[in-house]
Amino acid sequence: MADHHLEMPRPAQLLRTTGWSLTESVGLPVLALALGAWLWGRDAGLLAGVAVVWITAVIRKIHSGSVPSLVIISAILLTIQTAVAVGTGQLWIFLLHFPAGNLCLAILFARTASGPNPLIARLAAEVVALRQPSTPNPGLHRFFQRATWLWAAIFLLLALCLAVLLATQPTASFLLFSTVATVGLIAAGAGASALWLRVVLRRHGLGFRFAPA
């Protein structure tokens, strides 16, 4: 019998899955960065953050045979940031990693958008353990492809905004405005994606359900 539901973990399991995904891709590298910087200085902290995220990627590869997309993204961005920061030692060049990182994300999302495994679908499966219907739905696949293009555009727009802010604002104002722009655009993108998915599910007669306990 055809399956017409997207399946998500129950709330407690969803919190554990999402929490661990964010911990290994963001929490552990940031903790290593902060601890290394406190003990040995900024450059050592950055190197520690990069080392932790790559070690996490290697352990994941050995243990499960694959590396989560968030860990890959984190590794790429941290490596770029560290190379720029350690290589130059200049604060304004170090701040270039904000627009540069978002540009890399835009390229990464765009490269997968038209393929059989768009990045948004992978992230949904890895971060919130979203399971698609066992019977492939072309309309749902098109949604994930187009949503991936949407996020590529969001990160490209964010990269351009941050580049303009970096060129026109002092450091303190740049950090404030870049935070506001990042949170605002990502929140808007998440809200738009959720509403868009709801419309797609209704159009194709699909629904949500919780996974068995």
- Per-residue pLDDT of 176-186, as tens digits, reads 888 888 888 98
Determine, yes or no, domain membership for 213: no
Give the Cα separation of 136 and 133 in Å (integer): 6
Domain interval for residue 140 = 5-205
Tell me which DSSP letter residue 131 carries. B
Q: Token pair 């270039």 is at which residue?
A: 96
pLDDT mean over 67-71: 85
Distances (CA, A) of 12 to 18, 130, 139: 10, 14, 30
Angle between helices 171-203 and 138-168 (to 10 degrees): 170
Please indicate, yes or no, if residue 164 is contained in any of the structural domains: yes
Residue 45 counted as domain residue: yes
Does residue 102 lie within any of the structural domains? Answer: yes
136 located within any domain: yes
Number of domains comprising the chain: 1
Closest C-alpha to 151, from 35, 38, 73, 44: 73
pLDDT, residue 4, reads 67
Is residue 211 situated within a structural domain?
A: no
pTM of the model: 0.75
> Is 163 part of any domain?
yes
Is 210 a member of any domain? no
pLDDT bucket at 113, cuts 50 / 70 / 90: very high
Give exposure, 53-69, as e/b (b: 16+ Cβ within 10 Å).
bbebbeebeeeeeebbb
pLDDT at 27: 83
